[in-house]
Copies of this chain bind each other. A is one copy, B any other.
Amino acid sequence: MKRQFDVLFANNEFKAEAFLDELRGKKPLFVLTIATTETGKISGISAAGKFPEFTDYTPPADAELLHLGKCKCINGVPVTPDGIPTPALITMSALRLADVPVLVCSGGLRIKPQIPFLDVGGNPGRDIRSGNAVDNVQEVIDRATIAGENFAKTADYLVIGESIPGGTTTALGVLSAMGVHAQGRVSSSMPENPHDLKSETVKAGLTSAGESFGSLAANPVRAVSCMGDPMMAAFAGLVIGAASEVPVLMAGGTQMTAILAVINALNSDVLCNLAIGTTRWVVQDSSSDICGIVKEIADVPVLAADLDFAGTKFDGLKAYDRGIVKEGVGAGGASIAAMASTEGAVSRDMLLREIDQNYALLMGLK
Protein backbone atom coordinates (compact mmCIF):
# COMPACT_ATOMS: atom_id res chain seq x y z
CA MET A 1 0.00 0.00 0.00
CA LYS A 2 1.43 3.40 -0.93
CA ARG A 3 1.94 5.90 1.85
CA GLN A 4 3.09 9.40 2.76
CA PHE A 5 3.91 10.62 6.27
CA ASP A 6 2.28 7.88 8.35
CA VAL A 7 -0.77 7.76 6.11
CA LEU A 8 -1.73 4.76 3.97
CA PHE A 9 -3.57 5.09 0.66
CA ALA A 10 -6.16 2.35 0.97
CA ASN A 11 -8.44 3.09 -1.96
CA ASN A 12 -7.99 5.04 -5.21
CA GLU A 13 -4.29 5.54 -4.51
CA PHE A 14 -3.76 8.16 -7.17
CA LYS A 15 -6.50 10.47 -5.92
CA ALA A 16 -5.67 9.67 -2.31
CA GLU A 17 -2.12 10.88 -2.81
CA ALA A 18 -3.31 14.04 -4.56
CA PHE A 19 -5.86 14.66 -1.81
CA LEU A 20 -3.28 14.34 0.96
CA ASP A 21 -0.91 16.56 -0.98
CA GLU A 22 -3.57 19.26 -1.06
CA LEU A 23 -3.74 19.21 2.77
CA ARG A 24 0.02 19.66 3.32
CA GLY A 25 0.72 22.59 5.61
CA LYS A 26 -2.89 23.77 5.39
CA LYS A 27 -5.15 24.71 8.28
CA PRO A 28 -8.09 22.40 8.98
CA LEU A 29 -11.20 22.82 11.07
CA PHE A 30 -12.34 19.68 12.88
CA VAL A 31 -16.09 19.27 13.32
CA LEU A 32 -17.40 16.48 15.54
CA THR A 33 -20.96 15.45 14.71
CA ILE A 34 -22.73 13.68 17.55
CA ALA A 35 -26.12 12.10 18.11
CA THR A 36 -27.80 9.27 20.00
CA THR A 37 -30.43 6.71 19.05
CA GLU A 38 -32.50 3.92 20.52
CA THR A 39 -30.91 1.63 17.92
CA GLY A 40 -27.64 1.96 19.85
CA LYS A 41 -29.36 0.49 22.91
CA ILE A 42 -30.28 -2.82 21.27
CA SER A 43 -28.50 -5.46 23.32
CA GLY A 44 -25.25 -6.53 21.66
CA ILE A 45 -25.20 -3.82 18.97
CA SER A 46 -22.67 -1.40 20.41
CA ALA A 47 -19.63 -1.37 22.66
CA ALA A 48 -19.95 2.37 23.20
CA GLY A 49 -21.41 1.92 26.66
CA LYS A 50 -21.29 -0.79 29.31
CA PHE A 51 -25.06 -0.59 29.71
CA PRO A 52 -27.50 0.50 26.98
CA GLU A 53 -28.44 3.68 28.89
CA PHE A 54 -24.77 4.71 28.91
CA THR A 55 -24.87 5.16 25.15
CA ASP A 56 -26.78 8.42 25.68
CA TYR A 57 -23.71 9.78 27.46
CA THR A 58 -20.96 8.56 25.16
CA PRO A 59 -21.25 11.17 22.37
CA PRO A 60 -21.55 14.20 24.69
CA ALA A 61 -18.70 12.83 26.81
CA ASP A 62 -16.54 12.43 23.70
CA ALA A 63 -17.31 16.03 22.72
CA GLU A 64 -16.41 17.28 26.19
CA LEU A 65 -13.13 15.38 26.07
CA LEU A 66 -12.09 17.12 22.84
CA HIS A 67 -12.80 20.59 24.21
CA LEU A 68 -11.91 20.25 27.87
CA GLY A 69 -9.41 17.41 28.02
CA LYS A 70 -11.84 15.70 30.39
CA CYS A 71 -15.48 14.67 30.49
CA LYS A 72 -18.12 16.48 32.53
CA CYS A 73 -21.33 14.53 31.96
CA ILE A 74 -19.68 11.31 33.16
CA ASN A 75 -16.83 10.42 35.50
CA GLY A 76 -13.67 9.31 33.73
CA VAL A 77 -13.97 8.73 29.98
CA PRO A 78 -16.24 6.51 27.88
CA VAL A 79 -14.99 2.89 27.85
CA THR A 80 -16.13 -0.35 26.27
CA PRO A 81 -17.44 -3.14 28.54
CA ASP A 82 -13.83 -4.43 28.58
CA GLY A 83 -12.49 -1.07 29.74
CA ILE A 84 -10.99 0.03 26.43
CA PRO A 85 -11.03 3.86 26.32
CA THR A 86 -12.86 5.93 23.73
CA PRO A 87 -11.02 6.77 20.49
CA ALA A 88 -11.71 10.42 21.41
CA LEU A 89 -8.42 10.05 23.26
CA ILE A 90 -6.64 9.65 19.92
CA THR A 91 -8.58 12.51 18.35
CA MET A 92 -7.92 14.87 21.25
CA SER A 93 -4.20 14.06 21.21
CA ALA A 94 -3.90 14.58 17.46
CA LEU A 95 -5.85 17.85 17.45
CA ARG A 96 -3.86 19.25 20.35
CA LEU A 97 -0.50 18.38 18.82
CA ALA A 98 -1.41 20.24 15.64
CA ASP A 99 -3.44 23.02 17.36
CA VAL A 100 -6.52 22.28 15.26
CA PRO A 101 -9.74 24.17 16.14
CA VAL A 102 -12.78 22.08 17.06
CA LEU A 103 -16.51 22.62 16.76
CA VAL A 104 -19.18 20.18 17.88
CA CYS A 105 -22.42 19.74 15.96
CA SER A 106 -25.41 17.92 17.43
CA GLY A 107 -27.61 15.90 15.13
CA GLY A 108 -29.93 15.10 18.04
CA LEU A 109 -29.13 14.18 21.64
CA ARG A 110 -30.83 13.00 24.82
CA ILE A 111 -28.01 14.33 27.00
CA LYS A 112 -26.49 17.69 26.08
CA PRO A 113 -22.72 18.13 26.33
CA GLN A 114 -21.46 20.79 28.73
CA ILE A 115 -19.54 22.56 26.00
CA PRO A 116 -20.65 24.80 23.12
CA PHE A 117 -22.38 22.85 20.37
CA LEU A 118 -24.13 23.66 17.13
CA ASP A 119 -27.86 22.89 17.04
CA VAL A 120 -29.13 22.10 13.54
CA GLY A 121 -32.68 21.26 14.55
CA GLY A 122 -32.43 17.51 15.00
CA ASN A 123 -33.87 15.13 17.59
CA PRO A 124 -32.47 11.88 19.03
CA GLY A 125 -33.06 8.88 16.80
CA ARG A 126 -35.53 6.07 17.38
CA ASP A 127 -34.94 2.31 16.97
CA ILE A 128 -34.64 1.52 13.25
CA ARG A 129 -36.70 -1.63 13.78
CA SER A 130 -39.64 0.81 13.84
CA GLY A 131 -38.84 1.80 10.27
CA ASN A 132 -39.23 5.43 11.37
CA ALA A 133 -35.91 6.35 12.91
CA VAL A 134 -35.13 10.03 12.34
CA ASP A 135 -37.11 13.31 12.37
CA ASN A 136 -36.64 16.37 10.14
CA VAL A 137 -33.96 14.83 7.94
CA GLN A 138 -34.30 17.33 5.09
CA GLU A 139 -34.43 20.28 7.47
CA VAL A 140 -31.35 19.08 9.38
CA ILE A 141 -29.48 18.57 6.11
CA ASP A 142 -30.44 22.08 4.97
CA ARG A 143 -29.38 23.73 8.22
CA ALA A 144 -26.11 21.79 8.40
CA THR A 145 -25.45 22.77 4.79
CA ILE A 146 -25.56 26.44 5.84
CA ALA A 147 -23.10 25.70 8.64
CA GLY A 148 -20.82 23.83 6.23
CA GLU A 149 -20.85 26.72 3.75
CA ASN A 150 -19.81 29.14 6.46
CA PHE A 151 -17.18 26.81 7.97
CA ALA A 152 -15.65 26.44 4.51
CA LYS A 153 -14.89 30.18 4.54
CA THR A 154 -12.95 29.86 7.79
CA ALA A 155 -10.60 26.95 7.07
CA ASP A 156 -8.49 25.52 4.26
CA TYR A 157 -10.30 22.21 4.65
CA LEU A 158 -12.69 20.41 6.98
CA VAL A 159 -12.27 17.17 8.86
CA ILE A 160 -15.65 15.89 10.01
CA GLY A 161 -15.92 13.07 12.54
CA GLU A 162 -18.76 11.33 14.35
CA SER A 163 -19.68 9.82 17.66
CA ILE A 164 -22.87 7.78 17.75
CA PRO A 165 -23.39 4.39 19.37
CA GLY A 166 -24.84 1.76 17.05
CA GLY A 167 -23.68 3.74 14.04
CA THR A 168 -22.60 0.80 11.88
CA THR A 169 -26.06 -0.75 12.21
CA THR A 170 -27.82 2.39 11.03
CA ALA A 171 -25.14 2.62 8.31
CA LEU A 172 -26.08 -0.88 7.17
CA GLY A 173 -29.71 0.20 7.30
CA VAL A 174 -29.21 3.15 4.97
CA LEU A 175 -26.85 1.27 2.67
CA SER A 176 -29.35 -1.58 2.37
CA ALA A 177 -32.29 0.75 1.71
CA MET A 178 -30.19 2.42 -0.98
CA GLY A 179 -29.17 -0.85 -2.62
CA VAL A 180 -25.52 -1.01 -1.57
CA HIS A 181 -24.35 -4.51 -0.67
CA ALA A 182 -22.99 -3.97 2.80
CA GLN A 183 -24.36 -6.96 4.69
CA GLY A 184 -21.49 -8.64 6.55
CA ARG A 185 -19.19 -5.81 5.50
CA VAL A 186 -19.71 -3.04 8.07
CA SER A 187 -17.24 -2.70 10.90
CA SER A 188 -17.71 -3.09 14.66
CA SER A 189 -16.00 -1.70 17.73
CA MET A 190 -16.41 -5.07 19.46
CA PRO A 191 -14.08 -8.09 19.37
CA GLU A 192 -16.77 -10.14 17.60
CA ASN A 193 -18.61 -8.28 14.85
CA PRO A 194 -22.33 -9.08 15.36
CA HIS A 195 -23.19 -9.19 11.67
CA ASP A 196 -26.26 -11.39 12.12
CA LEU A 197 -27.77 -9.11 14.74
CA LYS A 198 -27.17 -6.08 12.52
CA SER A 199 -28.74 -7.79 9.52
CA GLU A 200 -31.81 -8.88 11.51
CA THR A 201 -32.23 -5.38 12.89
CA VAL A 202 -32.05 -3.87 9.42
CA LYS A 203 -34.40 -6.47 7.99
CA ALA A 204 -36.98 -5.69 10.69
CA GLY A 205 -36.63 -1.97 9.96
CA LEU A 206 -37.08 -2.35 6.22
CA THR A 207 -40.16 -4.46 6.77
CA SER A 208 -41.68 -1.95 9.20
CA ALA A 209 -40.99 0.87 6.76
CA GLY A 210 -42.56 -1.05 3.90
CA GLU A 211 -39.27 -0.87 2.03
CA SER A 212 -36.83 -3.41 0.68
CA PHE A 213 -33.22 -3.68 -0.41
CA GLY A 214 -32.53 -0.83 -2.84
CA SER A 215 -36.08 0.53 -2.83
CA LEU A 216 -34.82 3.92 -1.61
CA ALA A 217 -31.80 4.18 -3.91
CA ALA A 218 -33.10 7.47 -5.28
CA ASN A 219 -34.51 8.75 -1.99
CA PRO A 220 -31.65 9.21 0.48
CA VAL A 221 -33.69 11.50 2.73
CA ARG A 222 -36.30 8.79 3.25
CA ALA A 223 -33.54 6.18 3.63
CA VAL A 224 -32.09 8.14 6.56
CA SER A 225 -35.56 8.91 7.94
CA CYS A 226 -36.52 5.23 8.00
CA MET A 227 -33.25 3.40 8.60
CA GLY A 228 -30.55 5.90 9.58
CA ASP A 229 -29.54 8.08 12.49
CA PRO A 230 -29.52 11.84 13.15
CA MET A 231 -25.74 12.09 12.91
CA MET A 232 -25.95 11.20 9.21
CA ALA A 233 -28.27 14.07 8.35
CA ALA A 234 -26.09 16.65 10.07
CA PHE A 235 -22.88 15.11 8.71
CA ALA A 236 -24.16 14.94 5.13
CA GLY A 237 -25.32 18.56 5.26
CA LEU A 238 -21.98 19.75 6.60
CA VAL A 239 -20.16 17.92 3.80
CA ILE A 240 -22.48 19.21 1.07
CA GLY A 241 -22.14 22.77 2.33
CA ALA A 242 -18.37 22.73 2.70
CA ALA A 243 -17.17 20.48 -0.12
CA SER A 244 -18.35 22.81 -2.87
CA GLU A 245 -15.62 25.18 -1.66
CA VAL A 246 -12.90 23.23 0.17
CA PRO A 247 -11.68 19.64 0.56
CA VAL A 248 -13.50 17.60 3.18
CA LEU A 249 -12.03 14.58 4.93
CA MET A 250 -14.87 12.37 6.15
CA ALA A 251 -13.34 10.95 9.30
CA GLY A 252 -14.64 7.53 10.26
CA GLY A 253 -14.94 3.88 9.38
CA THR A 254 -17.67 2.05 7.46
CA GLN A 255 -20.30 4.52 8.71
CA MET A 256 -18.80 6.99 6.25
CA THR A 257 -19.96 4.82 3.36
CA ALA A 258 -23.61 5.37 4.29
CA ILE A 259 -23.04 9.12 4.33
CA LEU A 260 -21.18 8.81 1.04
CA ALA A 261 -24.19 7.06 -0.47
CA VAL A 262 -26.48 9.85 0.77
CA ILE A 263 -24.20 12.57 -0.63
CA ASN A 264 -23.76 10.71 -3.90
CA ALA A 265 -27.52 10.66 -4.34
CA LEU A 266 -28.12 14.25 -3.19
CA ASN A 267 -25.23 16.12 -4.77
CA SER A 268 -22.62 14.08 -6.61
CA ASP A 269 -20.87 17.29 -7.74
CA VAL A 270 -19.05 17.52 -4.42
CA LEU A 271 -17.56 13.99 -4.57
CA CYS A 272 -14.41 15.31 -6.26
CA ASN A 273 -13.60 17.23 -3.09
CA LEU A 274 -14.10 14.30 -0.70
CA ALA A 275 -12.01 11.57 0.84
CA ILE A 276 -12.62 9.17 3.69
CA GLY A 277 -10.00 9.26 6.43
CA THR A 278 -9.84 6.31 8.81
CA THR A 279 -7.38 4.13 10.70
CA ARG A 280 -5.21 1.20 9.70
CA TRP A 281 -7.32 -0.92 12.05
CA VAL A 282 -10.41 -0.33 9.91
CA VAL A 283 -8.83 -0.90 6.50
CA GLN A 284 -7.06 -4.04 7.73
CA ASP A 285 -10.14 -5.41 9.50
CA SER A 286 -11.00 -8.85 8.17
CA SER A 287 -14.56 -8.66 9.52
CA SER A 288 -15.47 -5.63 7.39
CA ASP A 289 -14.71 -4.14 3.97
CA ILE A 290 -14.73 -0.35 3.81
CA CYS A 291 -13.01 -0.12 0.43
CA GLY A 292 -15.33 -2.70 -1.10
CA ILE A 293 -18.39 -0.74 0.00
CA VAL A 294 -16.88 2.56 -1.17
CA LYS A 295 -16.23 1.14 -4.64
CA GLU A 296 -19.90 0.17 -4.93
CA ILE A 297 -20.94 3.80 -4.38
CA ALA A 298 -18.30 6.13 -5.81
CA ASP A 299 -14.58 5.50 -6.01
CA VAL A 300 -13.48 8.24 -3.59
CA PRO A 301 -10.05 7.98 -1.98
CA VAL A 302 -9.71 6.23 1.38
CA LEU A 303 -6.78 7.31 3.53
CA ALA A 304 -5.81 5.50 6.72
CA ALA A 305 -3.67 6.76 9.58
CA ASP A 306 -1.05 4.06 10.06
CA LEU A 307 -1.37 4.09 13.83
CA ASP A 308 0.63 1.54 15.77
CA PHE A 309 0.13 1.05 19.48
CA ALA A 310 2.72 -1.74 19.87
CA GLY A 311 4.92 0.65 21.86
CA THR A 312 2.42 1.51 24.58
CA LYS A 313 2.66 0.00 28.03
CA PHE A 314 -1.07 0.38 28.68
CA ASP A 315 -3.36 -2.62 28.12
CA GLY A 316 -6.30 -0.31 27.37
CA LEU A 317 -4.43 1.06 24.37
CA LYS A 318 -2.79 -2.23 23.31
CA ALA A 319 -6.31 -3.49 22.63
CA TYR A 320 -6.52 -1.12 19.66
CA ASP A 321 -3.66 -3.01 18.03
CA ARG A 322 -5.70 -6.21 18.42
CA GLY A 323 -8.47 -4.55 16.41
CA ILE A 324 -10.81 -3.61 19.24
CA VAL A 325 -12.69 -0.29 18.84
CA LYS A 326 -10.62 0.57 15.72
CA GLU A 327 -12.06 4.02 15.02
CA GLY A 328 -14.53 6.64 16.14
CA VAL A 329 -14.74 10.37 17.04
CA GLY A 330 -12.82 10.99 13.82
CA ALA A 331 -9.67 9.46 15.30
CA GLY A 332 -8.18 8.40 11.97
CA GLY A 333 -9.02 11.61 10.14
CA ALA A 334 -7.81 13.79 12.99
CA SER A 335 -4.52 11.87 13.00
CA ILE A 336 -4.16 12.33 9.24
CA ALA A 337 -4.91 16.06 9.57
CA ALA A 338 -2.36 16.44 12.36
CA MET A 339 0.28 14.75 10.20
CA ALA A 340 -0.59 16.68 7.03
CA SER A 341 -0.96 20.12 8.59
CA THR A 342 2.44 19.77 10.23
CA GLU A 343 3.94 18.25 7.06
CA GLY A 344 4.76 15.07 8.93
CA ALA A 345 6.25 16.71 12.03
CA VAL A 346 3.49 14.96 13.95
CA SER A 347 4.34 11.29 13.37
CA ARG A 348 2.58 8.20 14.64
CA ASP A 349 5.32 7.83 17.26
CA MET A 350 4.86 11.36 18.55
CA LEU A 351 1.12 10.82 18.50
CA LEU A 352 1.39 7.63 20.55
CA ARG A 353 3.55 9.40 23.15
CA GLU A 354 0.89 12.11 23.44
CA ILE A 355 -1.91 9.53 23.65
CA ASP A 356 0.02 7.58 26.30
CA GLN A 357 0.46 10.73 28.35
CA ASN A 358 -3.16 11.80 28.04
CA TYR A 359 -4.37 8.29 28.87
CA ALA A 360 -2.20 8.17 31.97
CA LEU A 361 -3.41 11.60 33.07
CA LEU A 362 -7.07 10.78 32.52
CA MET A 363 -6.86 7.37 34.18
CA GLY A 364 -4.66 8.54 37.04
CA LEU A 365 -1.97 6.05 35.94
CA LYS A 366 1.79 6.46 35.79
Binding site for B on A (CB under 8 A): 27, 29, 67-68, 99-103, 105-106, 112, 114-121, 139, 143-144, 146-147, 150-151, 153-155
Q: Which residues of chain B have C-beta atoms less than 8 A from A150's C-beta?
A: 67, 101-103
CA–CA, A199 and B99, complex, Å = 47
Contact of A154 among B68, B115, B116, B155 (CB under 8 A): B155
Query: How many copies of this chain does the complex contain?
Result: 2
CA–CA, A223 and B121, complex, Å = 32
Across the interface, do B112 and A119 meet the contact criterion of CB distance under 8 Å?
yes
Q: Which residues of chain B have C-beta atoms less than 8 A from A121's C-beta?
A: 112, 114, 116
Q: A101-B150, A103-B150, A115-B143 are in contact. List 18 more A-B contacts (CB 8 A).
A: A27-B154, A29-B154, A67-B146, A99-B153, A101-B151, A101-B153, A101-B154, A102-B150, A103-B147, A106-B119, A112-B121, A114-B121, A115-B146, A116-B120, A116-B121, A116-B146, A116-B147, A117-B119
CA–CA, A101 and B121, complex, Å = 20
Across the interface, do A118 and B116 meet the contact criterion of CB distance under 8 Å?
yes
Ordered by A's residue number, 14 sampled pairs between the chains whose C-beta atoms are within 8 Å are: A29-B154, A67-B146, A67-B150, A68-B146, A103-B150, A114-B139, A115-B146, A116-B118, A116-B119, A116-B147, A118-B119, A119-B119, A154-B154, A154-B155
CA–CA, A72 and B230, complex, Å = 23
> Which residue of chain B has the shortest Cβ distance to A116 in the bound complex?
B147
Q: Which residues of chain B have C-beta atoms less than 8 A from A106's C-beta?
A: 119
A19 nearest CB across to chain B (Å): 21
A175 nearest CB across to chain B (Å): 27
A234 nearest CB across to chain B (Å): 9
A321 nearest CB across to chain B (Å): 32
Most buried by B among A106, A112, A115: A115
CA–CA, A273 and B146, complex, Å = 30
Q: Which residues of chain B have C-beta atoms less than 8 A from A115's C-beta?
A: 143, 146
Q: Which residues of chain B have C-beta atoms less than 8 A from A151's C-beta?
A: 101
Q: Which residues of chain B have C-beta atoms less than 8 A from A139's C-beta?
A: 114
CA–CA, A27 and B150, complex, Å = 13
CA–CA, A68 and B149, complex, Å = 12
> Which residue of chain B has the shortest Cβ distance to A117 in the bound complex?
B119
Across the interface, do B143 and A116 meet the contact criterion of CB distance under 8 Å?
yes
Q: Which residues of chain B have C-beta atoms less than 8 A from A154's C-beta?
A: 27, 29, 101, 154-155
Q: Which residues of chain B have C-beta atoms less than 8 A from A117's C-beta?
A: 118-119
Q: Which 5 A-B pairs have the closest CB atoms?
A: A101-B153, A154-B154, A116-B147, A101-B150, A116-B120
Q: Which residues of chain B have C-beta atoms less than 8 A from A101's C-beta?
A: 150-151, 153-154
Most buried by B among A101, A102, A144: A101
Q: Which residues of chain B have C-beta atoms less than 8 A from A120's C-beta?
A: 116
CA–CA, A198 and B330, complex, Å = 51
Most buried by B among A106, A112, A154: A154
A157 nearest CB across to chain B (Å): 12
A70 nearest CB across to chain B (Å): 13
Q: Which residues of chain B have C-beta atoms less than 8 A from A102's C-beta?
A: 150
CA–CA, A100 and B115, complex, Å = 25
CA–CA, A16 and B146, complex, Å = 34
CA–CA, A151 and B112, complex, Å = 21
CA–CA, A151 and B102, complex, Å = 9
CA–CA, A105 and B150, complex, Å = 14
